[in-house]
A = this chain, B = another copy of it.
Amino acid sequence: MKDVLKRFTVKDDFMGKYETLIQEVVIPFQEKILHDQAGVAEKSHAISNFELAAEKIETGKCDQPFYGMVFQDSDVAKWLEAAAYSLGMHPDSELEKRCDEIIDLIGRAQWEDGYLNTYFTVKAPEHRWDNLEWAHELYCAGHMMEAAVAFYEMTGKKKLMEIMSRMGEHMYERFIVNEAPGYPGHPEVELGLLRLADATGNERFKALAEHFINVRGVDLEFYNWEHKNADWFPFGGTRPNSNMAYSQAHLPVREQTDAVGHSVRAVYLYTAMADMALKNKDEALKKACENLWESITQRRMYVTGSIGSAYEGEAFTEDYHLPNDTAYAETCAGIGLIFFARRMVELSAKSTYADVMEKALYNTVLPGMQLDGTRFFYVNPLEVIPGVSGKAKTHKHALPERPNWFACACCPPNVARLLPSIGRYALGIVEDTVYSHLFIGGELKLEEGMGGKVIVTSELPYDNKVSYHFEPTDAEMVMTLAVRMPYWSEKTGIRLNGKDISPKISEGYAYISGPFSKEDVIDVTFDMSVKKVYANQQLFADNGRLAVQRGPLVYCAEGRDNDDDVLSLVIEKDAIFNESFVHELGGVVRLTVDGLRRSSDTSLYSFDQPESEKVKISLVPYYTWGNRGLNQMRVWLPYV
């Protein structure tokens, strides 16, 4: 399934606003943060670290200390990748010039032997490669490789790719030629290497990625050996004992069946595994990916498409353990799940993969950012109680409001790089078939015999129609359009030129074959009726509760709309929802529904049945929560 990012221009009422926000607010705002010019609470120092590294390489010393996490470089990498996609959408010579300057700086921070990492250059040169488990050297390299490829693809400029190719060769020399043992604690470099191999045609990068995937979890003693070899820990204090499952190194990857450990590490690894399964037609690896996908999506995923049930280890826990108020549900993990889903739908064109991609996009990635683009969630709880959330020992991570930035700032630039590359997830091409996974309007330019444009017009996520027009270069376009039939639409209508058609539906995609001419229009109309969502009975946090969804959007009750108290609300299982479009929150369909408010006196427990008063419960899309000040929020409401 070919990547269409370069060929797709977003023209969409809903997602287009996000593209503009990313371009006009998020990228400039994050650029200021990386330069320590934004005046936010958390210092970044990420650009300064590169300056210090360059100074050290050029003069042999630097007077200032490194600042930040061992993986601070990755913030610059992810921002550069985001900026690259933004440049791909909207050329901006000023931004491009500033990117070039940063890339020049990165080049100056690279050692003669190709090694690049500011932490190890400025702060701990003696520990280079000493700690693959914790030190994130390969992780940072992977992100910079992704940025390099993105910058090349979007601008045609090769400099960063050349820098990262030198780093790739340095790593190849170490791990393949010289057979240094080990694999990264935090998977990511595999993704970067595979993209770099594709972009450069250098097979050594692919071989190195495969090597890291294949040796993972095979030598179970590697981390212990490393620990004994160099008892050094970049986060201060003593190096903790290894927890192999935390970094998915407990078993050879082809034998893994349960999604375990740090959830971002997990989905980055699974993405690379799926990528490699695809490239090598590796059936065993594909089967492992399918098992891990099932483990996540059938037993360990929130209704919002978020993953990671525990702050402890930022990790998956056990089947059906999905607490709402203490959820980890990291924004990055939702993004990683989208990466994984994108590779899976390429391995097998089944709508279930794209369904999850859509779920995580609207209900984990979007809520990860304030509507104004300047605040971000790392953790996306499904229930928030001011006074407890962000405050109780068990809820310190579950902040009730988005901060501007984080000491560990992985999520904000991850959102910034995902949204402007959304075309890559919205559509895909296999031979003469154009897959429409996500319903985002825009123009897709085609070549290779299908010459012309497919023009997608989408009213989603609030209205129910998606239309496909065609602009053939010649008289007509010989192609098939495969449209996802989303799980949330019970009855989806498909019309060709105003006439109902019943195309073949396979694995959740409707295959409508052309040729198509300039006059042809395919209209797809979805059932957007409000759905009540019920969790599996074994999902013990949600017994007796239901969630509400309309189209791809999960809804929530916020205190602001419900007399500052959502905890006493009860929904009636047969109640009918009222829908109204309102302009607040950037324009949303607000839902109201008859329900009850239970009231009790001040006592903690009572034998008296609570009084029930009829009320209108007001719900807003979950992605908009927390945009109107501190207040309660709940996704799963008790029902009667």
Q: Are A298 and B536 in contact (CB under 8 A)?
A: no
A interface secondary structure, majority:
loop
Q: Which of A486-540 contact B (CB under 8 A)?
A: 488, 490, 531-540
Residues of chain B within 8 A of A578, CB atoms compared: none
The complex places the Cα of A391 from the Cα of B319 at a distance, in Å, of: 11
- Is A570 interfacial (CB 8 A cutoff)? yes
Interface readout for A572-603 with B: 1 if CB under 8 Å, 0 if not? 01000000000000000000000000111011
Q: Are A298 and B598 in contact (CB under 8 A)?
A: no
Q: Are A388 and B536 in contact (CB under 8 A)?
A: no
How many copies altogether?
2
Residues of chain B within 8 A of A313, CB atoms compared: 393
- Is A315 interfacial (CB 8 A cutoff)? yes
Q: Are A388 and B604 in contact (CB under 8 A)?
A: no
Q: Chain B nearest CB: distance from A556 CB in Å? A: 14
The complex places the Cα of A539 from the Cα of B383 at a distance, in Å, of: 13
- Is A37 interfacial (CB 8 A cutoff)? no
The complex places the Cα of A549 from the Cα of B607 at a distance, in Å, of: 9
A238 and chain B: residue at smallest CB distance: B237
Residues of chain B within 8 A of A164, CB atoms compared: none
Q: Are B310 and A600 in contact (CB under 8 A)?
A: no
Residues of chain B within 8 A of A600, CB atoms compared: 534-537
- Is A565 interfacial (CB 8 A cutoff)? yes
Q: Chain B nearest CB: distance from A351 CB in Å? A: 15
Q: Are B310 and A609 in contact (CB under 8 A)?
A: no
Residues of chain B within 8 A of A320, CB atoms compared: 385, 387-388
Q: Chain B nearest CB: distance from A602 CB in Å? A: 7
- Is A284 interfacial (CB 8 A cutoff)? no
- Is A449 interfacial (CB 8 A cutoff)? no
Interface readout for A326-338 with B: 1 if CB under 8 Å, 0 if not? 1000000000000
- Is A231 interfacial (CB 8 A cutoff)? no
The complex places the Cα of A602 from the Cα of B298 at a distance, in Å, of: 8
The complex places the Cα of A351 from the Cα of B550 at a distance, in Å, of: 52
Residues of chain B within 8 A of A321, CB atoms compared: 385, 388, 392, 394-395
Residues of chain B within 8 A of A544, CB atoms compared: 544-545, 570, 638-640
Q: Are B568 and A383 in contact (CB under 8 A)?
A: no
Q: Which of A620-640 contact B (CB under 8 A)?
A: 638-640
- Is A303 interfacial (CB 8 A cutoff)? yes
Q: Are B605 and A535 in contact (CB under 8 A)?
A: yes
For A310, give its contact among B303, B383, B394, B490 (CB under 8 Å).
B394
Residues of chain B within 8 A of A568, CB atoms compared: 537-538, 543
Q: Are A537 and B610 in contact (CB under 8 A)?
A: yes
The complex places the Cα of A320 from the Cα of B325 at a distance, in Å, of: 13
The complex places the Cα of A319 from the Cα of B607 at a distance, in Å, of: 21
- Is A567 interfacial (CB 8 A cutoff)? yes
A632 and chain B: residue at smallest CB distance: B540
- Is A464 interfacial (CB 8 A cutoff)? no
The complex places the Cα of A380 from the Cα of B124 at a distance, in Å, of: 47
Q: Which of A460-502 contact B (CB under 8 A)?
A: 488, 490
Q: Are A318 and B603 in contact (CB under 8 A)?
A: no
Residues of chain B within 8 A of A301, CB atoms compared: 604
Q: Chain B nearest CB: distance from A161 CB in Å? A: 40
Residues of chain B within 8 A of A388, CB atoms compared: 317-321, 540
Q: Are A303 and B392 in contact (CB under 8 A)?
A: no
Q: Chain B nearest CB: distance from A319 CB in Å? A: 7
Q: Are A604 and B394 in contact (CB under 8 A)?
A: no
- Is A159 interfacial (CB 8 A cutoff)? no
Q: Are A533 and B607 in contact (CB under 8 A)?
A: yes
Q: Are B312 and A534 in contact (CB under 8 A)?
A: no
The complex places the Cα of A303 from the Cα of B603 at a distance, in Å, of: 12
A246 and chain B: residue at smallest CB distance: B393
Q: Are A536 and B602 in contact (CB under 8 A)?
A: yes
The complex places the Cα of A567 from the Cα of B40 at a distance, in Å, of: 46
Q: Are B605 and A310 in contact (CB under 8 A)?
A: no
For A604, give its contact among B297, B323, B395 (CB under 8 Å).
B297
For A609, give its contact among B383, B392, B532 (CB under 8 Å).
B532
Q: Which of A92-132 contact B (CB under 8 A)?
A: none
A396 and chain B: residue at smallest CB distance: B312
A546 and chain B: residue at smallest CB distance: B609
Q: Are B540 and A385 in contact (CB under 8 A)?
A: yes
- Is A448 interfacial (CB 8 A cutoff)? no
- Is A59 interfacial (CB 8 A cutoff)? no
- Is A179 interfacial (CB 8 A cutoff)? no
Residues of chain B within 8 A of A392, CB atoms compared: 309-310, 317-318, 321
| A interface residues (Cβ-Cβ under 8 A, vs B) | 297-299, 301, 303, 309-310, 312-313, 315, 317-321, 323, 325-326, 383, 385, 387-388, 391-395, 488, 490, 531-540, 543-545, 547, 549, 565, 567-568, 570, 573, 598-600, 602-610, 638-640
In the assembled complex, 17 residue pairs joining A and B whose CB atoms fall closer than 8 Å, in A order, are A298-B602, A309-B392, A312-B394, A315-B393, A318-B387, A533-B607, A534-B609, A535-B604, A536-B602, A536-B603, A537-B598, A537-B599, A537-B600, A544-B544, A544-B638, A547-B605, A549-B607
Given contacts A536-B606, A545-B638, 7 further A-B contacts (CB under 8 A): A297-B604, A317-B393, A320-B387, A534-B610, A543-B570, A544-B570, A640-B640
